[in-house]
Amino acid sequence: MKEIVLEISKILKERLSAKTPLIQVIQGPRQVGKTTALIQVYQSMHKKIPMHLVSGDGVSSAIWILEQWQIARTNKQILIIDEIQKIPGWSEAIKTLWDDSKKRKGKVRVNRIEFT
C-alpha cells in the first residue's frame, strides 16, 4: 500500500533543507497529523540531514529540553521535539536557548506552522 505524504511534511522538508533551518513550531488541533508529519520528515531526511527526534510525552521538567538541545548541538543535528507543549515551562526554556544562541551568534530562527 502506498503511503500518503502529508502536504505539511513537504513544507517541513523544504524548510529544514534551507541553509539556515528555522525553529519550526507546529501546532493545531488533536488528530490532524502533526506527529505523522514529523515522523514522515524524519524517516525521509535523517540520513541526509542529521536529526535528533524526541518526544515530550512524560517529561516533567524543562531541563530535559536543554539536555536534548545540547545533544543535538554537539552532534550537529536538527532537534525535533514532538509534544513539547506537554513539558512544563517549555516556552521559557526555548526562549532561554534562543537568547543564548543569539548571543553566541548562532544561526537560529523561528517559524510557526498552524494545522487547521
Q: Which domain holds residue 89?
A: 23-114
Kindly state whether residue 97 falls inside one of the protein's structural domains.
Answer: yes
pLDDT number for residue 11: 86
68 SS3 class: helix
> Percent of the chain having pLDDT more than 70?
87
pTM: 0.73
b/e 32-63 (16+ beta carbons within 10 angstroms → b): ebbebbbebbbeebeeebebbbbebeebeebe
pLDDT number for residue 29: 83
Kindly state whether residue 1 falls inside one of the protein's structural domains.
Answer: no
Kindly state whether residue 3 falls inside one of the protein's structural domains.
Answer: no
Is pLDDT at 95 greater than 60 in this prediction?
yes
Is pLDDT at 110 greater than 70 in this prediction?
no
Looking at mean pLDDT, say which of 1-10, 12-21, 62-71, 96-105 comes out highest: 62-71
Per the structure, how many domains does the chain have?
1
